[in-house]
Amino acid sequence: MNKTIGMVAHVDAGKTTLLEQILYSTSSIKKAGRVDNKNTFLDYHSIEKERGITVFSDQAITNYNNCTYQLVDTPGHIDFSTEMERSIRILDYAVIIISAVEGIEGHTETVWQLLKKYQIPTFFFINKLDRVGSNFENVINEIRNTFTQDIIILSHITEDGNINYSLDNPSRDIIELIAEYDEVIMEKYVEDEDIKPTEIYQAIKKFFNNNSIYPCLSGIALKSIGIDKLMKSIDLLTLSKYDNTKDEPLSGTVYKIRHDSHGNKLTYIKLYTGTVNVKDSITHKDKSTEKINELRIYNGTNYDISKKAYAGQLIAVTGLNASYVGEGIGDFDDYNEYTLIPTLKSKVLYDSFENPKEILKIFTILTEENPSLDVEWVEEIKEIHIKVMGTIQLEVLTYIIQERFGKSITFGVPEVLYKETIAYKTHGFGHFEPLKHYAEVEFDIEPASRNSKISFSSTCHVDVLHTRWQRMCEKNIADACKKGILTGSPLTDINITLTTGKSHIKHTSGGDFRQATFRAIRQGIEKVDNILLEPFYSFKIKVVNHLSGRVMSDITKMHGVFEPPITNNNQVIITGRVPVSTAMNYPSTLASFSSGKGSISLIFDGYDICHNTDQVIKRIGYNKNIDIEYTSTSIFCSHGKAYTVEGNSIT
């Protein structure tokens, strides 16, 4: 049986230490390492040892009670949360580790939202109960008030230092709690009938697996206290969701791309159904086919070569050079609807003697491994741009590029990633007819709801424009919308409908409809008012009472909004929404004036109208009239000669 369990937490909650102790207690490693000693099993990358944080998601394998557990260690720092989300997608279960001292922190809330989105049954583990300032009850109340009321405490440390474990001998409180969920237990409880411990844990198991209840355990990971109870609970309450006795078609998902020390591309796949063998052919979504050359089962840096893999396993294969993160294998669909996306971009800086193509090649490899980087060569200004989550990520990238590729690079100051949309419905026309070319298209372009991205549809009959050419229009919509007219930022939140088009039986080629599509989109948006959008954070700030006025004043200055503050004992909780551009450096400001005692959670909350549109447009200085690739000018042909008509002259 294979089960994939993810360890997720805010940085410094003790996640890596907990994982280390699980591996040690199950005899998977001979000695438990420590983060401060830089010798843990999974934080083996030099940058992770140097900084003492998890940067890359990795897996370890352990066996417990005749079951194989694939334990996934995920990054706990917000700058590497895109890597964390890609890992969460392939989990069967998760353990959220929370420090009993700091309680729920910013990244913990992000993790919880993602686990809810992907419907991952989740355990809570309250750690560091030996630390000064630890408070088990406070954390329990925080979980109930912030995350869910549906928690069940399965273990806690008693005053004498022992672990009280509820599944061995369920207390009356546990029975009463489960009776609220289970009618059979409720009936027995009301009738004062005997209820066996097995009935209780089977009921917990049922409601845990359908995300109705969340078991909570506690301990001290560094001292290996509570580890055995956590593993026992995981073993008792989890299910193997994969049936290898059935002859099912292959399905899986690519969740990670890496390159080994020899430059071989490694495609990491979570198998959901079926089996896969070495030398099997894999058909990609574009119908191309490649063979698996080697099949590896990774355990930290080590791996075993296998000839066959089964449903439920995490594998790495070589030979799939056309694979990409999010690719669906077999019957599984592609996935790219990630919640966490970068809101900043940065310019890559390198020495003048370096070949830009070589630097671009490096970032192309890194983007293949981390698609959120989305490297771009900006031809007009001969610069390489990437998208990032924050400055710590840039520091790590600098280190990685030096270590892996031997290149010394730095980055420009991160800038906010803006987007653009339209205020009203418009109609776009594009005609492309140089000599021996021909394509014409028309689109209705309508504003859509905020953060709905771009949709495409067609009302054009196939008798008017062949399906082949309609598909070519759709294929090029994404590229045609990469630049708006205000700042050259990508278009978003629009519905595009192909209404009509024309082709020529002799002169039309696929590239012609790309040109016509670009012109039609640009011509349409130039006819209406455009809106500049900026990214926003939703925030939660906790400070002592006397600092609440300062915080609310700061939020107002940052052009944010907030809900009425909530007072809890001597603390005030303030929630709201604020532009990324004004708040990205606020965590350090808060830490400074609160002497490190204030906490802040910043979670990407989509795009909305920019608070300082005029200033941004002036600062960026984009001139739509000199952008040759994104022009609204149509090209016609008469008597063998091509001539142009500007978009604003076409009605």
Angle at which helix 183-190 crosses helix 172-179, to 10 degrees, equals 130
pLDDT at 261: 84
* Contacts with 319 (C-beta within 8 Å, 6 or more apart), sequence order: 290, 291, 292, 293, 294
Residue predicted with more confidence, 51 or 499: 499
- The CATH topology of domain 347-417 is Alpha-Beta Plaits (3.30.70)
Q: How confident is the model at residue 205 (pLDDT cuts 50, 70, 90)?
A: very high
DSSP for 201-256?
A: HHHHHHHHHTTS-EEEEE-BGGGTBSHHHHHHHHHHH------TTS----EEEEEE
| Amino acid in position 121 | P
* Token pair recorded at residue 484: 């708006």
122-127 and 93-99 strand pairing: parallel
Domains of the chain, by residue range, sit at 2-237, 251-330, 347-417, 419-651
| Mean of all residue pLDDT scores within the chain | 91
**Contact of 498 with 457, CB cutoff 8 Å:** yes
Given a cut of 80, is residue 38 above it in pLDDT? no
Given a cut of 80, is residue 533 above it in pLDDT? yes
Domain 2-237 and domain 419-651 have a common topology: no
| Amino acid in position 635 | I
pLDDT at 558: 97
- The CATH topology of domain 2-237 is Rossmann fold (3.40.50)
| Amino acid in position 462 | V
Residue predicted with more confidence, 580 or 244: 580
Given a cut of 80, is residue 244 above it in pLDDT? no
DSSP strand E in 558-633: where? Answer: 561-562, 566-568, 571-579, 599-609
Q: How confident is the model at residue 67 (pLDDT cuts 50, 70, 90)?
A: very high
Between the CA of residue 452 and those of 72, 152, 374, 420, 447, what are the distances in Å?
Answer: 32, 37, 20, 13, 10
Given a cut of 70, is residue 49 above it in pLDDT? no
- Residue that the structure tokens 């890359």 belong to: 56
* Token pair recorded at residue 157: 């440390």
* Contacts with 519 (C-beta within 8 Å, 6 or more apart), sequence order: 429, 430, 431, 432, 631, 632, 633, 634, 647
Residue predicted with more confidence, 54 or 80: 80
* Token pair recorded at residue 177: 């709690």
Where b means 16+ CB within 10 Å and e means fewer, 372-391 reads bbbbbeeeeeeebbbbbbbb
Looking at the DSSP bridge assignments, the partners of residue 445 are 426, 496
Among 41-55, 153-167, 469-483, 500-514, the minimum mean pLDDT is found in 41-55
Domain 251-330 belongs in CATH node 1.10.3720.10? no
* Contacts with 572 (C-beta within 8 Å, 6 or more apart), sequence order: 542, 543, 544, 545, 547, 548, 551, 565, 566
Secondary structure string (H, E, C) spanning 138-169: HHHHHHHHHCCCCEEECEEECCCCCEEECCCC
**Contact of 539 with 563, CB cutoff 8 Å:** no
Instruction: Provide the percentage of residues in the chain whose pLDDT is more than 90.
Output: 68
Which among 25, 6, 33, 17 is positioned nearest to 63, based on CA atoms? 25
Between the CA of residue 329 and those of 323, 401, 618, what are the distances in Å?
Answer: 9, 31, 46
What region does 225 belong to: left with phi over 0, alpha with psi -120 to 50, or beta? beta
pLDDT at 242: 85
Q: How confident is the model at residue 459 (pLDDT cuts 50, 70, 90)?
A: very high
CA distance 620 to 616: 6
Q: What is the mean pLDDT of residues 8-15?
A: 86
Which among 379, 86, 354, 341 is positioned nearest to 362, based on CA atoms? 354
Which among 300, 227, 233 is positioned nearest to 25, based on CA atoms? 227
pLDDT at 44: 67
Given a cut of 90, is residue 492 above it in pLDDT? yes
Q: How confident is the model at residue 318 (pLDDT cuts 50, 70, 90)?
A: very high
Given a cut of 80, is residue 117 above it in pLDDT? yes
The dihedral through the CA atoms of 363, 371, 250, 245 has a sign that is: positive
**Contact of 308 with 276, CB cutoff 8 Å:** yes
Q: What is the mean pLDDT of residues 540-563?
A: 95
Q: What is the mean pLDDT of residues 456-477?
A: 96
DSSP strand E in 451-565: where? Answer: 454-458, 494-503, 530-544, 561-562
How many C-beta atoms surround the C-beta of residue 602 within 10 A? 24
Q: What is the mean pLDDT of residues 446-466?
A: 96
CA distance 56 to 358: 24
**Contact of 483 with 536, CB cutoff 8 Å:** no
* Token pair recorded at residue 107: 């990244």
Which among 364, 349, 370 is positioned nearest to 414, based on CA atoms? 349
Tell me: the pLDDT tens digits for 365-409? 999 999 999 999 988 788 999 999 988 899 999 999 999 999 999
* Token pair recorded at residue 239: 């299910």
Tell me: the pLDDT tens digits for 333-369? 999 888 888 999 999 999 999 999 999 999 999 999 9
Tell me: the pLDDT tens digits for 133-192? 888 998 999 999 889 999 999 988 877 777 788 888 888 888 888 989 888 889 888 888
Q: How confident is the model at residue 313 (pLDDT cuts 50, 70, 90)?
A: very high
* Contacts with 190 (C-beta within 8 Å, 6 or more apart), sequence order: none
Helix (H) or strand (E) holding 460: none
- Residue that the structure tokens 């604003």 belong to: 648
pLDDT at 94: 97
Q: What is the mean pLDDT of residues 72-98?
A: 92
Between the CA of residue 365 and those of 83, 176, 254, 393, 497, what are the distances in Å?
Answer: 16, 55, 16, 16, 35
Given a cut of 80, is residue 554 above it in pLDDT? yes
- CATH class, 419-651 region: alpha beta
CA distance 518 to 277: 44
User: Is residue 641 helix, strand or coil?
Assistant: strand
Q: What is the mean pLDDT of residues 57-83?
A: 91
User: Is residue 18 helix, strand or coil?
Assistant: helix
Q: How confident is the model at residue 596 (pLDDT cuts 50, 70, 90)?
A: confident
